[in-house]
Amino acid sequence: MDPLVRLKQARSEGLIPEKLYGRITERFGLAVSGIDRIERASGLAFPAAYVEPSLVVTSPDPGSYEYGILFARTIPVEAAGRMAVVVQVSAPLLAFGLKGTIHAILAHEFLHYLELMWRVSRMGVLSDEVTGSLFESSYADGERLLEPRAVFADRTLVDHITRRFPAGFRDARLEEKAVSLWHRKGLPRTDVDLGSNTVRLSAESLSRMSLDPGLAGRLAELAEKSGRIRARARRLY
């Protein structure tokens, strides 16, 4: 899959200005280097990823003025009757994000991917839970992920993740640029209702999901290591 195919289509339809298109494609290398870095630090392969040529925003309900920006999403999909996983990277992240922020967000989505694969390996997922607010969603997100320190042998990368995801992603600089340089200029936007930001998969597609035995074993090790790290942290505090 060409990770830039949707961006190229948006450019050909005149939805993305030429100068901005050039900036995004030039800075796509930061995402590639981030994925390479994540794979080296974890010893595991990153899932398929592509660039979404829009600003993805979510709100608790259609009439609410509260909204959050989703700079990347890990999305389970059904393909040919089987479950697959793709990581959606928003174009505004590549256009305006610093290198450390881009790598941190990709690493965070990689943790989502591993956690989903872990649940699938235990057949413990049919659909993701629905939460009622951005705060609750951030809290649930932080509670369920594997510990970065258990997954990545890259202290700087771990620092990037923990600094930017204390309780949900926060980067005032990036968010302001996304609003002022993308949203207010009328560039493409995708609205996602928080209540429906969930993917339901059929039991059949899950049953046909073939998980590499080596990955399943590695995920079990990471889950156990994450548990030890959290238990040690609870004892300290």
* Distance, CA of 70 to CA of 54 (rounded, Å): 10
3-state secondary structure 53-84: CCEEEEECCCCCCCCEECCEEEEEEEECCEEE
- 54-87 pLDDT, tens digit each: 999 986 555 544 568 899 998 887 776 677 789 9
Structural domain boundaries of the chain?
5-224
DSSP assignment letter at 97: -
Confidence (pLDDT) at 10: 97
Which DSSP symbol is given to 72?
Answer: E
Q: Which two tokens stand for residue 202?
A: 């059929």
pLDDT grade for 198, boundaries at 50, 70 and 90: low
Q: Which pLDDT score is estimated for 64?
A: 47
- Tell me the mean pLDDT in the region 129-155: 67
Global pTM value: 0.85
Is the per-residue pLDDT at 168 higher than 70?
A: no
